[in-house]
Amino acid sequence: MATSCEAKKKGELRIFESSVELATDLAEYVAQLSEISVKERGCFTIALSGGSLINLLGKLCEAPYNKTLDWTKWYVFWADERAVAKNHAESNYKQTKEGFLSKVSILNSHVYSINDNVTVEEAASEYEFTIRQLVKVRTIAVSEANDCPKFDLILLGMGPDGHVASLFPNHLTLELKEEWVTYITDSPKPPPERITFTLPVINSASNVALVVTGEEKAAAVRIATNNSIEELDSSLMLPAQRVQPIEGKLVWFLDKGAASALEASTDGFGHT
Ligand SMILES: O=C1O[C@H](COP(=O)(O)O)[C@@H](O)[C@H](O)[C@H]1O
């Protein structure tokens, strides 16, 4: 059974006893957003991350969702990618293909993986160009607040250091305002070269979910969800703390371990 609560700005927290319960609720959450988007806009644009998130999407590949979701209306993107070949064990694409895409009926032509045959700089610029074309024809919606792409859903994981996508603490990429996609060559977590959405894109999405499991992430979860430090200089904030959708909705999916440093009433979320 999940514990759930709402908080202004920082979003909704859903805490689960087990990763199975988390995965079950996550599948229902994604399925509902897919149905709403397909009904309202005729398609569903989703950006995925790599890491532990992909295994938690397994329930979406099972009944009833494998049959009931309109997979042909899905358009799949990546919030970040590691600059390795697509068949490399570290590739977010490879992991997603094996753990998710190969098990559902998403059209190959709707899968926008990031080019692994060019430099990271070129790959980032090519990926941004592709997204711009899809925004022009409104396959991807546009944010009226800032003209950024407005993905129907961005699914993010978080590292123990509070990084999301490939936006790492204290990195200059966190301050980018105009770019939609950027690259880094000095990632503190290997591999060093990566391509990533910027914060303006993440924060323009209609829905953002942060899916975090494991006790080693509990301290970062506590900081990132703490309402009392929102006035802090943003450059001192963890990347995950800066995920604050402008108009969209943020939901945190946490297992018991990841939520273990939260206190019921002092962090502003007050469990219900
Ligand atoms: O390197 C990355 O790390 C984060 C977090 O991964 P996790 O395995 O700790 O959940 C992931 O969200 C990101 O996409 C990936 O490139």
Name the residue ranges covered by the structural domains of the chain. Answer: 11-259
Query: Cα(168) to centroid of ligand 1, in Å?
Result: 11
In this prediction, residue 265 carries a pLDDT of 46
CA distance 158 to 166: 10
In this prediction, residue 4 carries a pLDDT of 63
Query: Cα(192) to centroid of ligand 1, in Å?
Result: 13
Torsion of CA 213, 216, 222, 223, to 10 degrees: -120
Query: Cα(167) to centroid of ligand 1, in Å?
Result: 10
Query: Cα(165) to centroid of ligand 1, in Å?
Result: 7
Q: Would you say the C-alpha torsion 94, 96, 102, 105 has a positive or negative sign?
A: negative
pLDDT of 10 > 90? The answer is: no
Query: Cα(137) to centroid of ligand 1, in Å?
Result: 31
Give, for ligand 1, the residue of 19, 22, 48, 52 to mutate: max count of ligand atoms closer than 8 Å to Cβ: 52
pLDDT per residue over 210-268, tens digit each? Answer: 999 999 999 999 999 986 665 567 888 999 999 999 999 999 999 999 999 998 644 44
pLDDT per residue over 145-194, tens digit each? Answer: 999 999 999 999 999 999 999 999 999 999 999 999 999 999 999 999 99
Nearest CA to ligand 1 atom 16: 50
Q: At residue 197, what are phi and psi to the nearest 5 degrees?
A: -65, 150
CA-to-CA dists, residue 179 to 105, 147, 238, angstroms: 32, 12, 20
Q: Which residues line ligand 1 (CB under 6 A)?
A: 49-53, 80, 82, 92, 156-159, 165-166, 189
Give exposure, 72-97, as e/b (b: 16+ Cβ within 10 Å). Answer: ebbbbbbbbbbbbeeeeeebbbbbbb
Distant-in-sequence, close-in-space partners of 161: CB < 8 Å, separation ≥ 6: 168, 169, 188, 189, 220, 238
Q: What's the complex ipTM?
A: 0.98
Nearest CA to ligand 1 atom 6: 51
CATH of 11-259, one of 3.40.50.2300, 3.30.300.20, 3.40.50.1360, 1.10.760.10: 3.40.50.1360
pLDDT of 6 > 60? The answer is: no
In this prediction, residue 13 carries a pLDDT of 97
In this prediction, residue 267 carries a pLDDT of 45
Query: Cα(44) to centroid of ligand 1, in Å?
Result: 23
CB neighbourhood size of 134 (10 A)? 18
